[in-house]
Amino acid sequence: MSVPTSTRAAVLIEHGKPLHLTELPLPAEVAPGAALVRVSCATLCGTDVEIWSGKMSFPGMLPMVLGHEMVGEVVAVGPDTRDALGREIAVGARIGWSESTCGECHGCVVLREPVACSKRGYGFLQRSDVPPYATAGLSEYAYVVPRAAKLLLPDAVPSTWAAMAGCAAKTVLRAFSYVGGLTGKRVVVQGSGALGIFATAVAHISGAAKVITVGAPESRLSLAGEFGADAVVDIALGSDGIVERVRELTGGHGADLVLDFAGAPTVGAEAVAMAAQRGQVVIVGTTGPVSAPLPLGTVMGKELTISGSLNGDIADYHRAIEFFGAFADRFPWDRLFGTPVGLSAASDRIAAMHRLDEVKAVIDPRLP
Ligand SMILES: [Zn+2]
Ligand SMILES: [Zn+2]
């Protein structure tokens, strides 16, 4: 098979408007450490929807190709292209990939935190009108840059799950890695999107005494029930109602651990109000600049620990793949995903996620 020199891609040119199906160039040569991949599965993330709608926006970010959870088959490799574990990547291999990091900045070298890389290449950070053009999921072919975190994927993990591991699942596992053991704890998960439902399952598997998922609409809350929620609380109750219901469900104590995977303006204040004495609060889903003020007197009086968790790195990604392999039969993971559609229907699926009609859309760019 000859190596393609261009690719069909769905490009976001203007926020809130349908994606533009167009042809993008591909780099003429595959550099050492890089790969050219035919994308077989891209799953959409809440961030893709926020970028599409314009809720998340900054000058100079467009045009871009959405999709940062993806899997594909390698069609060309540069010299010495290996995955993050040092395994050789050959033509025909099925790989997933995630952010690229520079290895030279303060975040990479001093903090040793890939998520803090000042030149992180990830989803919204890569324009489609400058080389290497097509690096994201909503593209028939994608160029995987030399410093992108790549993983050869085990056969036991389906492509939808492996794609989701690239952002949603790794983000959840990183957040849990900061809070220690869950055995016997009362856990509240704020949010019933893909992250919230996956977090509900992780908390359940990790031995939480009780997992309470707060969200909406009803269809997602009932899905949370299938993924290990012992109780669900509808946000239609309003802040006071939500907090009161969580107190009831925890015998008046509140939650030992509250994780935000929702990002609504009121989640911080609600988390503090529903946390138990000496409880922990982890903020994971809040991306916007505007939020309700935190009642700091409560933070002090309850001696709460509040921390943030940003996305995830290659270690979290690897653990997410291992997690799906280990717990493949534990929950009906396929229920999180929509029916695969081609690039021409991607706009429609993003709009469906925006309306909360779909938890996680699946795009297979090989489809018409
Ligand atoms: Zn994401
Ligand atoms: Zn860096």
Secondary structure of 51-80 in the HEC alphabet? HHHCCCCCCCCCCEECCCCEEEEEEEECCC
**What band does 87 get if pLDDT is binned at 50, 70 and 90?**
very high
Q: Which ligand is nearest to the CA of 287?
A: 1
174 within domain boundaries: no
Global pTM reads 0.96
Number of domains the chain is built from? 2
pLDDT at residue 232 greater than cutoff 70: yes
Query: Does residue 1 belong to any structural domain of this protein?
Result: no
- Give the domain-ending residue among 271, 288, 308: 308
Same domain, 160 and 18: yes
Residues 37, 163 share a domain: yes
Identify the CATH number of the domain in which residue 143 sits: 3.90.180.10
> Separation of 110 CA from ligand 2 center, angstroms?
10
| Other CB atoms within 10 Å distance of the CB of residue 353 | 22
* Spacing, Cα 47 to ligand 1 middle (Å): 5
Say if residue 59 is preceded by a cis peptide, omega within 30 of 0.
Answer: no
Mean pLDDT for 130-146 is: 95
Residue 233 lies in a domain: yes
Ligand nearest, relative to CA of residue 105: 2
- Rounded CA-CA distance 66/349 in Å is 12
Check if the beta carbon of residue 292 is closer than 8 Å to that of residue 265.
yes
Statement to judge: residues 359 and 284 lie in one domain = no
Q: For residue 108, is it within any domain? A: yes
* Residue closest to 258 by CA, chosen among 249, 267, 193: 267
- Please report whether residue 160 resides in a domain: yes
CA of 122 to the centre of ligand 1 (A): 9
Q: Of 123-127, 211-215, 354-358, where does the model show the most confidence?
A: 211-215
Report CA(165)–ligand 1 centroid distance (Å).
Answer: 10
- What's the pLDDT at 58? 83
183 and 44 both lie in a single domain = no
- Say how many Å lie between the CA of residue 145 and the centre of ligand 2: 14
Q: What's the pLDDT tens digit per position in 57-70?
A: 888 889 999 999 99
Which ligand is closest in space to the CA of residue 46?
1
The reply to whether 161 and 296 lie within a common domain is no
CA of 69 to the centre of ligand 2 (A): 21
Query: Distance from the CA of 169 to the center of ligand 1, in angstroms?
Result: 9
Residue 93 has pLDDT above 70, yes or no: yes
In a domain, 173, yes or no: no
Do 192 and 303 lie in one domain? The reply is yes
295/316 same-domain check? no
360 phi and psi angles, rounded to 5 deg: -145, 110
Distance from Cα 68 to the centre of ligand 1, integer Å: 6
Report the alpha-carbon distance of residue 166 to residue 251 in Å, rounded. Answer: 37
Do 255 and 246 meet the contact criterion of CB atoms below 8 Å apart?
yes
Residue 63 backbone dihedrals phi, psi, to 5 degrees: -80, 155
On the CB side of 353, CA atoms within 13 Å amount to 28
Span from the CA of 182 to the centroid of ligand 2 (angstroms): 33
Tokens of 293: 């003020």
Ligand 1 centre distance from Cα of residue 45 (Å): 5
CA of 328 to the centre of ligand 1 (A): 22
Question: Domain containing 226 — which CATH number?
Answer: 3.40.50.720
Let me know: does 254 contact 247? Beta carbons within 8 Å. yes
In whole angstroms, give the CA distance from residue 223 to residue 230: 12
Pairing between strand 210-215 and 148-152?
unpaired
Q: Which domain holds residue 61?
A: 6-168+312-363
* Pair (14, 102) in one structural domain: yes
Predicted confidence at residue 124, as pLDDT, reads 60
Q: What is the pLDDT of residue 21?
A: 97
For 41, the 3-state DSSP assignment is: strand
- Please give the backbone phi and psi of residue 61, each rounded to the nearest 5 degrees, phi first: -85, -20
pLDDT (mean) for 110-119: 94
Spatial CA neighbour of 291 closest among 262, 261, 271, 266: 266
3-state secondary structure 158-172: CHHHHHHHHHHHHHH
Final residue before a domain boundary, out of 267, 283, 308: 308
The tens digit of pLDDT for each residue in 159-206 reads 999 999 999 999 999 999 999 899 999 999 999 999 999 999 999 999
pLDDT-based confidence at residue 126 (cuts at 50, 70, 90): confident
User: Ligand 2 centre and the CA of 172: distance in Å?
Assistant: 23
- What is the arithmetic mean of pLDDT over 223-251? 98
Give me the pLDDT at residue 56, please. 86
| 131 plus 197 within the same structural domain | no
Average pLDDT, the chain: 95
- Which ligand is in closest contact with the Cα of 284? 1
Do 268 and 280 have their domain in common? yes
Q: Output the CA 313–ligand 2 centroid distance in Å.
A: 12
Q: Is 123's pLDDT higher than 70?
A: no
Does residue 344 lie in a domain region?
A: yes
Please check whether residues 162 and 218 belong to one and the same domain.
no
Q: How far is the centre of ligand 2, averaged over its atoms, from the C-alpha of 106 (Å)?
A: 7
Asked if the structure places residue 91 within a domain, the reply is yes
Tell me the two tokens of residue 54. Answer: 């314009």
pLDDT of residue 293: 87
Ligand positioned closest to the Cα atom of 100: 2
Strand locations in the chain (E): 6-12, 20-25, 35-43, 64-65, 70-77, 94-100, 141-144, 148-152, 186-190, 210-215, 231-234, 255-260, 275-283, 305-308, 362-363
- 162 and 19 inside one domain: yes
Q: How confident is the model at residue 122 (pLDDT cuts 50, 70, 90)?
A: confident
* CB under 5 Å of ion ligand 1: residues: 45, 47, 167
Out of 284, 308, 332, a domain closes at 308
Structure confidence at residue 255 (pLDDT)? 98
Q: How many CA atoms lie within 13 Å of 149's alpha carbon, on the beta-carbon side?
A: 24
